[in-house]
């Protein structure tokens, strides 16, 4: 899961991506970047991410936990 998320994030930042990387602080992502990234996640994982859930994405680990939970329920 981390490799897929990292691959998507690499399209939006040149910073090193680690699980504890802050989206805004470490990766210097803008709110527009995050909206585009969420769209990429929805396409990659074939899920719908609610707008209210995006506010919980503070670091890469938050995204990983969310996607793992969301994808588990799809099975």
Tens place of pLDDT for every residue, the chain, 75 residues?
A: 999 999 999 999 999 999 999 999 999 999 999 999 999 999 999 999 999 999 999 999 999 999 999 887 654
Q: What count of other Cβ atoms lies within 10 Å of the Cβ of residue 63? A: 25
| pLDDT, tens only, 52-65 | 999 999 999 999 99
Tell me the three-class secondary structure of the chain, residue by residue: CHHHHHHHHCCCCCCCCCCCCECCCCCCCCHHHHHHHHHHHHHHHCCCCCHHHHCCCCEHHHHHHHHHHHHHHHC
Chain-wide mean pLDDT for the chain?
94
Fold for the domain defined by 2-74:
1.10.1200
For residue 49, report the phi and psi dihedrals to the nearest 5 degrees: -105, 120
């Amino acid at each position: 899961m981390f490799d897929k998320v990292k691959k998507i994030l690499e399209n939006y930042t040149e910073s090193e991506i680690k699980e504890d990387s802050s989206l805004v602080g470490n990766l210097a992502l803008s709110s527009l970047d995050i909206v585009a990234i969420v769209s990429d996640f929805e396409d990659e994982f074939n899920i719908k991410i609610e707008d209210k859930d995006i506010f919980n994405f503070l670091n890469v680990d938050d995204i990983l936990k969310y996607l793992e939970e969301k994808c588990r329920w799809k099975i």
